[in-house]
A and B are shown apart, each in its own frame.
Chain A
């Protein structure tokens, strides 16, 4: 079974802190994604990556950066956390194909105080 793991299920940080969210997948997938999910807004794409060291902006990249130094690992970085970044963060990975099923991690619920 494909496994996508995220470093934390719950995280509490203070405004201005630098926050790292890590995602690891074990299926050698080329594609990896970071979404955030907020009530009433659904899932929105922050960044994605098609290969090591490659990244593309999604719909809401402001205030975030990403890093993909190894194929299996995709990190989301909040450079200076703000209260409006309180959200559920979901990581996903996929293999490029017609079907391209995306496999999601369990999510990290981040609270910024």
Chain B
């Protein structure tokens, strides 16, 4: 799987939007971009994924650059419960099972009241 690069940490104020960047300059055409997050003392949880188009769900939005070499996870209004480590992961689709997720170090998001 191709490598991703994320900032080690970011800070946000409560109720404000947060943009978490991810660079993946070696992405290939069949790589899907997945985001997971891990709250303190919990297992990781799925947030969102996309291939080429921007995606929205109840948790977040995913904006994918036109050349797909970077993406941004957007939390529209950060809450204290969004404080977590956010992981950007590339998954290559071969058909059938995709196997394990390769987690990098992620971005630790702090949210200030």
Contacts and interface: CB of A to CB of B under 8 A. Distances in A.
13 contacts: A4-B43, A35-B100, A43-B103, A48-B100, A92-B44, A96-B96, A96-B97, A96-B98, A101-B46, A102-B44, A102-B46, A104-B44, A107-B43
Given A33-B100, A42-B105, A102-B101, A90 B43 contact: yes
A106 B43 contact: yes
Nearest to A58: B100
Contacts of B41: 107
B11 to A, nearest CB: 21
Interface of B: 32, 36, 41-46, 49, 91, 93, 96-101, 103-106
B93 A98 contact: yes
Main secondary structure on B side of the interface with A: loop
A100 B91 CA distance: 9
A30 interface: yes
A90 B44 contact: yes
Contacts of B105: 40, 42
Given A35-B100, A107-B41, A107-B42, 19 more contacts: A30-B97, A33-B100, A43-B101, A45-B100, A48-B100, A58-B100, A90-B44, A92-B44, A94-B97, A96-B96, A96-B97, A99-B32, A99-B49, A102-B36, A103-B46, A104-B43, A104-B44, A106-B43, A107-B43
Given A43-B44, A90-B43, A100 B98 contact: yes
